[in-house]
Amino acid sequence: MSTHVESAPKHFDLLIRGGTVIDGTRRPRFVADIGIVGDRIAAIGELAESTADAVVSAKGKIVAPGFIDSHTHDDQVLLSQPHMPFKISQGVTTVVTGNCGISIAPLRDSCPMPAPLNLLDDQDSPRFATFADYMAQLRQQPPSVNVAALVGHSTLRAMCMSSLDRAARPDEIRDMRGRLEEALEAGALGMSTGTFYPPAMHAPTEEIVEVGRPLSAVDALYVTHMRDEADRSLEALEESFFIGRELNVPVVISHHKLKFAQNFGKSGVTLARIAEAMKRQRVYLDCYPYNASSTMLHTDAARLHGKVLIASSDAYPECSGRDLDEVAAEWQVSKTEAARRLQPASAVYYNMDERDVQSILAFEDTMIGSDGIPTGDQPHPRLWGTFPRVLGRYSRELGLFSLETAVWKMTGLTASRFGLAHRGQLAAGCFADLVVFDAETIRDAATYDVPKQMAEGIETVVVNGVVTWRTGSHQGARNGRVISRSNTAHRYGLGDADTRPHGA
């Protein structure tokens, strides 16, 4: 425990008094005061003698680093709803955008937005021709949370290719590669792919390697919604590892899951394979704590297995929240025809085994990412509930892991994997992103039926030293920052899961 009391100032801007600190490193909790000056933690320890402009009493409550959402689709909503209530109300202080191959930049006004790119965008939202333009806009109009951004390969394809139903030609690969370079220079953390989805489904492995070349020089991340998360998930893992090795960069397996009954239980095999691969290359993964998935409404029968709930439909907004089967029966058409008529649309799919979800969550290296889709009236409940659900249901109620481990999976681990320096940990010198919550009462309230519900038990959320959320209400602050890629942080890699040490 680092106290730094001797050198600490006697007066702070903000003092969090008497809380039980879980510091994001998995170290056991301890009682301490936290003194904040400006945007940084100045001291942690016994600070009874100190004064402050503002004091938050945290007696009997947990004080943890602000949660980092490793997997989001918040690219556009950060600008259109900068207060980000669905994230800040959960204690989230940093989001990673641009996942699953889809990012809001770079895109021209004339670019088509085929699904799932349209999940990011309402039609009249601004486009950004370069990644630097997007980052500049975020800085000019800061949201309430910090942002670290990935650039999406499907977005690059939409920007650079005349049609998406084929592999990229050499000139298109060069064009995409140049734009990836631009994005990395502008501060992107890496590139994401979504070869599961139509806009990138026809991209062969070699295309991704060739487009991804610029990642190698700066050791940026390769983040992937794999080609398959069902019958061919092992082959998809091998492809992801191969790309990571070819480029010699870390691979993040996004929202690891096994879909459809015939694959239930297969997480034993995939996790063993991931653990094996981790011995020779950097492989990271994240997961959301639910056994239903959500994305665009598919129109092919193979992807409409089982119960499908319509989350949003531009053509028939009144159908959101309804069962696809029911709507198809009412219209007297097939499921696929109903899905076609509802487009553009998104859906919730009941397609996973709870035991797989728990094995993946409990796997040591798994980070927590919401994969929340912030559009439509009936979003998947993960948008509002992910982080409190892991703390309440999976840690407290089911005892899947300790609270210290749960916090680490959403703070220190994530910061170290994504190279977010001085975040994800409570220590003197770190940014003052923190959350005060009640370990006894914290729980998600969002359900599939009523998904837009604030979680319970989050008391105070501080972003870069500014109180942004207090007992159920937003304080209006928009103190989030753009976090650019830092070259060295995730090189602390291979098997070393600890948060990197803090310097200055």
Distance CA 335, CA 345 (A): 14
Cβ neighbours for 35, distance < 8 A, ≥ 6 positions apart: 8, 9, 12, 14, 15, 41, 42, 43, 44, 47, 50, 52
Stretch touching Cu ion by CB under 5 A, among 96-104, 177-185, 351-359, 449-457: 96-104
Residue 460 binding target from Cu ion, Zn ion, none, CB below 5 to 8 Å by type = none
Nearer to Cu ion, 64 or 352 (CB): 352
Check the CA dihedral 245-247-250-256 and report its sign.
negative
Residue 365 binding target from Zn ion, Cu ion, none, CB below 5 to 8 Å by type = none
Burial class (CB in 10 A: 0-12, 13-18, 19+), 110: exposed
Residue 417 binding target from Cu ion, Zn ion, none, CB below 5 to 8 Å by type = none
By CB under 5 A, the count of residues binding Cu ion is 3
Distance CA 44, CA 326 (A): 57
Tell whether residue 296 is a contact of Cu ion (CB under 5 A).
Answer: no
User: Measured at CB, which residue is nearest to Cu ion?
Assistant: 100
Nearer to Zn ion, 100 or 237 (CB): 100
Distance CA 327, CA 325 (A): 6
Nearer to Zn ion, 63 or 348 (CB): 348
Are residues 374 and 383 in contact, defined by beta-carbon separation less than 8 angstroms?
A: yes
Nearer to Cu ion, 239 or 371 (CB): 371
Q: How far is the CB of 407 from Zn ion (least distance, A)?
A: 24
Long-range own/partner contacts, residues 262-268 (CB < 8 A, 24 or more apart): 262/231, 263/230, 263/231, 263/233, 264/352, 264/353, 264/355, 264/356, 265/353, 265/355, 265/356, 266/233, 266/356, 267/355, 267/356, 267/359, 267/360, 268/359
The binding site for Zn ion (CB under 5 A) comprises 100, 225
Nearer to Cu ion, 18 or 372 (CB): 372
Check the CA dihedral 466-58-460-435 and report its sign.
positive
Residue 337 CB coordination number (10 Å): 13
Stretch touching Cu ion by CB under 5 A, among 18-26, 91-99, 126-134, 441-449: 91-99
The SS3 assignment for 206 reads: helix
Nearer to Zn ion, 226 or 466 (CB): 226
DSSP 393: I
Residue 13 binding target from Cu ion, Zn ion, none, CB below 5 to 8 Å by type = none
Nearer to Zn ion, 225 or 481 (CB): 225
Nearer to Cu ion, 50 or 366 (CB): 366
Are residues 360 and 267 in contact, defined by beta-carbon separation less than 8 angstroms?
A: yes
Nearer to Zn ion, 225 or 298 (CB): 225
Residues in contact with Cu ion, shown as a per-residue x/- string from 99 to 128 under the rule CB under 5 A: xx----------------------------
Q: How far is the CB of 295 from Zn ion (least distance, A)?
A: 6
Query: What are residue 40's DSSP bridge partners?
Result: 37, 431
Q: Which residue has the tokens 């940084």?
A: 40
Nearer to Cu ion, 191 or 403 (CB): 191
Closest to 490 in 3D by CA, of 425, 421, 429? 421
Joined tokens for residue 235? 């082959």
Q: How far is the CB of 252 from Zn ion (least distance, A)?
A: 11
Nearer to Cu ion, 316 or 350 (CB): 350
Q: How far is the CB of 183 from Cu ion (least distance, A)?
A: 18
Q: How far is the CB of 477 from Cu ion (least distance, A)?
A: 27
Residue 301 CB coordination number (10 Å): 11
Stretch touching Cu ion by CB under 5 A, among 77-85, 92-100, 150-158, 351-359: 92-100
Are residues 150 and 95 in contact, defined by beta-carbon separation less than 8 angstroms?
A: no
- Of 324-383, binders to Cu ion (CB under 5 A) are 371
188-213: b (≥16 Cβ within 10 Å) or e: bbbbbbbbbbbbbebbeeebbbbbbe
Q: How far is the CB of 409 from Cu ion (least distance, A)?
A: 18
Distance CA 430, CA 38 (A): 11
Cβ neighbours for 326, distance < 8 A, ≥ 6 positions apart: none
Distance CA 288, CA 301 (A): 25
Stretch touching Cu ion by CB under 5 A, among 93-101, 211-219, 272-280, 299-307: 93-101
Question: Which chain residues interact with Cu ion by CB under 5 A?
Answer: 99-100, 371
